[in-house]
Amino acid sequence: MTEHFSGNFTQQEPISEEAIEAAVAVMRHGRLHRYNLAGGEVGEVALLEEEFAALMGAKYCLAVASGGYALATALRAVGVKHGDKVLTNAFTLAPVPGSIAAVGAEPLYVGVTEQLTIDLDDLAAKAGQAKVLMLSHMRGHLCDMDRLMEICDAAGITVIEDCAHTMGASWNGTLSGRHGAIGCYSCQTYKHVNAGEGGLLITDDAEVAARAIMLSGSYMLFTRHKAAPAPEVFERVKFETPNISGRMDNLRAAILRPQLRDLSRQVARWNERYQILEAGLRGTPGLTVVERPEAEVYVGSSIQFLLLEWSAEAVQEVLARCLARGVELKWFGVPEPVAFTSRYDSWRYAPAQSLPESDRILAGIVDMRVPLTFSLEDCALIARIIRAEVSAVWQSAH
């Protein structure tokens, strides 16, 4: 009998009772705005920032409305201006180049490797063309961060890390988001902590932190922040930094704080599922597993594999056959953006670039979410279905 998967690829786990109780407490007192505090009250957002800074080993943290807002705020805080070029990955999602466009800057794309990381040789070749790199750890794949920082430090490039898919990951013992000047994280439903929407920004640079807080809309209430620079730092920037409101509220912060305390356990659970899927796909004819470097501690909240040199028709047949058996896959080779896939040549607000090697790799990337609502048995079943359908299409073509 043909096996069929009946699970839901977009169903997350419920919010914990501890987080629900914290959220209800905020709703009962009604002080949702981060600066609306009772006498002596710190507030959920300020506590979240303090706790996330401690978790990441950072001096300063700012909680904001979304991961994309954190990225644009980071660019503004390091001084990116209208017309500047900003280096970024060709393999990423729309909010990354979108944040660059939001500040009036221009994305300059760097190629992708078969390991789904930024092409460091291409980065080195383009290092003289921009002063900022917005590095997307796309789908949780970390490049050789030691070499990347050597390239960027030598060229005087400021690195902003997009860690939407790498909260809890590390390279050679250094947490993702701690190599560059700023680390930006997402708290959107499909990320590693779930507030529906939300973002976090960390840095050790006092002036960058002060500018980011002012940009987020502090209304001169920056003394109500805990994971923030001293008041004298704000004195240098407070009248020249615009308010571009994008604060997080106390309700979302209350939901997030218990989740952060549980992050390491959740990472281990994701990786259990990822490793079962990876083992089940390994050795499938025509399918390339993306190998993870020894230096990388990853978070397997999604999995990718490559169907390199396959025709578009054959890849689409694999996707259709898997979907008929309940397995929902995304393909980065589609000519137009679909849901959460997109390509650098989809973003027509930026100048066109020619990246033929990246085009070859993007045409082979197949992507799948791994929600924690999947059991280990679910993951083994999904791997069997993908393996069977890829093998069937491969054999018919060969």
CATH number at residue 158: 3.40.640.10
- C-alpha 18/C-alpha 257 separation (Å) is 10
What one-letter code names the amino acid at 379? C
Q: Which residue has the higher pLDDT, 156 or 343?
A: 156
Indicate whether 168 and 217 sit together in one domain: yes
| The predicted structure's pLDDT at residue 152 | 98
pLDDT digits (tens, 9 = 90+) for 89-120: 999 999 999 999 999 999 999 999 999 999 99
**143 and 255 assigned to the same domain:** yes
CA separation (Å) from 376 to 132, 277, 291, 325, 381?
41, 9, 21, 18, 9
The residue range of the domain holding 206 is 17-261
Separation CA 157–CA 32 (nearest Å) = 39
Domain check: are 139 and 255 in the same one? yes
Judge if 156 and 289 occupy the same domain: no
Domain boundary among 261, 288, 310: 261
Residue 231 tokens, joined: 């008041």
Contact between residue 167 and residue 176 where contact means Cβ atoms under 8 Å apart: yes
Could you tell me if residue 194 is inside a domain? Answer: yes
Distance CA 138, CA 231 (A): 36
**293 and 217 co-located in one domain:** no
| CATH code for the domain in which residue 305 is found | 3.90.1150.10
Amino acid at 65: A
- Do 280 and 223 reside in the same domain of the chain? no
Which residues are within 8 A (CB) of 261 and not within 5 positions of it... i.e. 6 or more apart? 51
In a domain, 6, yes or no: no
Q: Which whole number is the average pLDDT over 362-389? A: 98
Give the tens place of pLDDT for each residue, 219-273.
Answer: 999 999 999 999 999 999 999 999 999 999 999 999 999 999 999 999 999 999 9
Are 127 and 206 part of one and the same domain? yes
The pLDDT of 312-334, averaged and rounded, is: 96
Residues 381, 321 within the same domain: yes
pTM of the model: 0.96
- Residue 280 CB neighbours (<10 A): 18
Q: Which amino acid, one-letter code, is at 225?
A: H
> What's the whole-number average pLDDT of the chain?
96
CA 238 to chain centre: 30
pLDDT score for 352: 86
Residue 318 falls inside a structural domain: yes
Find all residues with CB under 8 Å of 233, minimum gap 6, and list them. Answer: 206, 207, 209, 210
Whether residues 165 and 240 share a domain: the answer is yes
How many independent structural domains does the chain possess? 2
Tokens of 134: 């917005």
Q: Which residues contact 286 (CB under 8 A, 6 or more apart)?
A: 307, 310, 390, 391, 393, 394, 398
Tell me the pLDDT tens digit for each residue of 181-195: 999 999 999 999 999
Q: Which residues contact 386 (CB under 8 A, 6 or more apart)?
A: 280, 281, 284, 305, 322, 327, 329
Q: Could you tell me how far CA 271 lies from the centroid of its own chain? A: 17
Cβ contact 379:2 at 8 Å? no
Q: What share of the chain is helix, strand, coil (3-state, %, to 5)?
A: 40, 15, 45
Name the amino acid, one letter, at 178. R
Q: Burial-class residue 156 by CB neighbours within 10 Å (0-12, 13-18, 19+).
A: exposed
Of the residues 200, 233, 261, the one at which a domain ends = 261
Q: What percent of the chain has pLDDT over 90?
A: 94
- Tell me the angle at which helices 67-77 and 95-102 cross, rounded to the nearest 10 degrees: 40
Looking at residue 1, its pLDDT comes to 64
Q: Is residue 12 part of a domain?
A: no
Length of the chain: 398
Whether residues 66 and 197 share a domain: the answer is yes
Are residues 107 and 196 located together in one domain of the fold?
A: yes
Asked if the structure places residue 277 within a domain, the reply is: yes
* Shared-domain flag, residues 65 and 149: yes
**Are 191 and 67 spatial neighbours (Cβ–Cβ below 8 Å)?**
yes
Domain boundary among 241, 261, 281: 261
Assigned domain for 10 exists:
no
**Residue at 30 is within a domain:** yes
